[in-house]
Structure formats: C-alpha cells, structure tokens
Structure 1
Amino acid sequence: MSVRRDGDLIRLEGACPVEEAETLAALLLARPKAAVEWSGCTVLHTAVVQVLLRLRPRLQGSCGDPFAARWLAPVLAAEDPP
C-alpha cells in the first residue's frame, strides 16, 4: 500500500501511482490538518502531485523521489502558493 493513514499522519510509501491520488485526496479532505510523511515515497505520479499542490498539506521528512524533493518540496513549503 503506497498511501495509508497512520493515526493523524498520512504516509506515502514506495511508488505512488495514479490510483493513489483519489485515496490521498479523500484522506486529506477528511482530515484537513493531517500531515503527510513522504520520506518513504520513491515515485510520485503527477496526479498525486496535483493533489498535494491543490490541498497543500503539511509535509514531514524529505521526499524519497529525487525529482519531487528537488522541485516540488520548495513549492509546497512556500507560504504563498504559485
């Protein structure tokens, strides 16, 4: 399972394919203050990226997907969305 709830935390682990975008969105919408721990994630599908960009959850750890860590993390950490 690549997207799962762990108490008040949502974990992204391994490859997070397109099918996980809906699960992630549902979990974040049900728990708007939940943080996302993504250090175990190795690949993010662009649909999952879109959910993160739209819902802008608090992130924990450094993303295991090198592209997302380099380009997406700074955008999500910014106070004012682009």
Structure 2
Amino acid sequence: MGLVVEGQTIRLEGPARVEHAEPLLAFLQGGENRRVDLRGAGPLHAAVVQVLLALRPGLDGPAGDAFTARWLEPLLARPQQG
C-alpha cells in the first residue's frame, strides 16, 4: 500500500505511514492545484496529517478510514486561520 500519483492527484491507499509524509509533501509542493484522494486511505500517521494541515490541498473523499472520515476530514476541510 502507499501513494499513487495520477496526474495532479495523489491517492493514499491503505495505512498512510510516516515514510509517506515526505513524498506526499514533495508531490504537493511540486505544482499548483494538486489534490489528495482519501477514498482508499486507511489510518493516517500524524506526520501525514501534519502535511495535510500545513498545505491544505483539495481532498477527494470520503476517506476510507472511519476515524479519518469522522474526525480528520472536517478539520482538514476548514480554511487555515491566522
């Protein structure tokens, strides 16, 4: 499982582990309007959540993981304040 790039979208498949955070960050910083597909995602490691919170990419979902869908997706969908 891992990360699959499809054009301007990166799809998370299965559990997103700590080693996925850096490639996810690089992908999202590599161009404008990049998106993250959470539909196949399992539990997200905190490092992956931090990347998503910091960059606020567009999300495709709902997330495949119940915890992510219930608790993290609403948090990630909110605009960054400050």
CA 1:48–1:80 in 2, change beyond 3 Å: closer, same or farther? closer
1:43 alignment partner AA: P
Please give the secondary structure, in 2, of the residue aligned with 1:39.
coil
Q: Return the TM-score normalized by structure 2.
A: 0.89
- Return the alpha-carbon distance in structure 2 between the equivalents of residues 79 and 29 of structure 1: 18
RMSD value over aligned CA atoms?
1.5
Q: Give the 5 Å matches for 1:1-82.
A: 1-81=1-81
State the one-letter code of the partner of 2:2: S
* Cα-to-partner distance string for 1:24-81 (whole Å, 9 max, x where unaligned): 0000000231111110011211100000000100001111121111111111112344
Structure 1's unaligned 5+ residue stretches are none
The Cα shift of 1:22 comes to 0.2
Question: C-alpha distance in 2, partners of 1:80/1:53?
Answer: 8
In the aligned structure 1, how far is the partner of 2:14 from the partner of 2:62?
Answer: 14
Q: Which sections of structure 2, spanning at least 5 residues, go unmatched?
A: none
Counterpart contact for 2:40–2:64, Cα < 8 Å: yes
**How many corresponding residue pairs?**
82
Off by >3 Å, runs of 4+ in structure 1: none
